[in-house]
Amino acid sequence: MMQVALVDAGGANLGSVLFALQRLGVEATVTGDARIIQEADRVILPGVSTAGMVMGRLRELDLVETLRTLEKPLLGVCVGMQLLYERSEEGDVECLGLLAGQVTKLPGDAAIRIPHMGWNTLRPLQATSLVDGIEAGDHAYFVHSYAAPVTADCVLSCEHGATFAAVAQRGRVAGAQFHPERSSVVGARLLKNFLEHGLA
């Protein structure tokens, strides 16, 4: 049976991600234990908070190096995705450094409301097993004020005030800025792809 570890980094979406996995027939283990994370077949790092708070929680649990050196597929969700990058402008926080680039605040004005909250359109940039079956024009649900840049690792992009990475992947590491647990068919597809294929 596949072992899925859900990293308990204090994110408010922990329960909803757990339920989304249960809907796919997977009972994940919510844990802050490095050994369980290392032994899992798949690892998910959720987060709904600030980059500083979640990184602080990972340091308290002594999980920073565990995640940096993890050899299994790792999926970051929302703030969990942002922590995969080198740094976040939100509190000027050093992050995990698994993906190149810095997370910055989305630009807003009278017409562009921040935080970016609600459904938005996805634009495929690369074909990978993680986003198999997700098409141009499909929608996902976002709640965030900061976002990762569109780099060579960007798989799906989105636009709200600026173009940003909605899904990124490099090797065994990937992230989704949107909430798969709240993104209906698209979110379920992304999670199912991750569970079935890893990040091949």
Tell me, what's the pLDDT at 11? 66
- The residue from 78, 95, 154, 158 that is catalytic is 78
Query: 6 is written with which tokens?
Result: 């859900």
pLDDT of residue 47: 80
Can you say whether the dihedral through the CA atoms of 72, 151, 106, 185 is positive or negative? negative
Confidence (pLDDT) at 108: 86
**Record: fold of 4-197:** Rossmann fold (3.40.50)
Q: Which residues of the chain have pLDDT under 50?
A: none
Query: Exactly one of 116, 144, 160, 179 is catalytic; which is it?
Result: 179
Which helix (H) or strand (E) segment holds residue 42: the answer is strand 42-45
Tens-digit pLDDT profile for residues 14-46: 788 999 999 999 999 999 999 999 999 999 999
Give me the catalytic one of 90, 116, 144, 181: 181
First to last CA, the chain: 19
**Residue 78 catalytic?**
yes
C-alpha 61/C-alpha 117 separation (Å) is 30
pLDDT, tens digit, for every residue of 138-156? Answer: 999 999 999 999 999 999 9
116 is catalytic: no
Q: What per-residue confidence (pLDDT) applies to 12? A: 65
Active site annotation includes 197: no
Domain ranges of the chain: 4-197
Nearest CA to 168 out of 155, 158, 177 is that of 155
